[in-house]
Amino acid sequence: MKKESFIFFCLFAFTLCVSISFISFLGKSSSDENYVKIEVQEGDSLWNLAELMEDKQSLSKQAFIEWVTERNHLTTDSIKPGDILVLPVEKEHPSTYQLATVE
């Protein structure tokens, strides 16, 4: 009987972990809908994007770069023209898709 209880507990714990991970993943992807997306232009860098967006968000430049790197799953801080990035700037109208170009 104890072996069956242990197996049941393990299956329950595994199912719970998978469910929490799935819900967490869904929550993250839908939260990106509230932020501005931009297409990287020639000459853009994460540092100059942080400077350009300084008055539209409250993060320090370093925190901005870390947020963008993590949220966009970047392995380096190098970006190239044509990349689409989510920035920590809330959309004015979250229900619409807003693709901004930073000049």
> Do 65 and 10 meet the contact criterion of CB atoms below 8 Å apart?
no
Distances, alpha carbon 17 to alpha carbons 5, 23, 75, in Å? 18, 10, 27
Query: What domains appear along the chain, each with residue ranges and CATH number?
Result: 2-100 (3.10.350.10)
Q: How far apart are the first and last CA of the chain?
A: 68
| pLDDT for residue 24 | 65
Write out the two tokens for 30: 């839908």
**pLDDT (tens digit, 0 to 9) for every residue of the chain, 103 residues total?**
688 888 888 888 888 877 787 676 655 544 678 889 999 999 999 999 999 998 888 899 999 999 999 999 999 888 999 999 999 998 876 555 555 555 5
What is residue 20's predicted lDDT score, i.e. its pLDDT?
Answer: 80
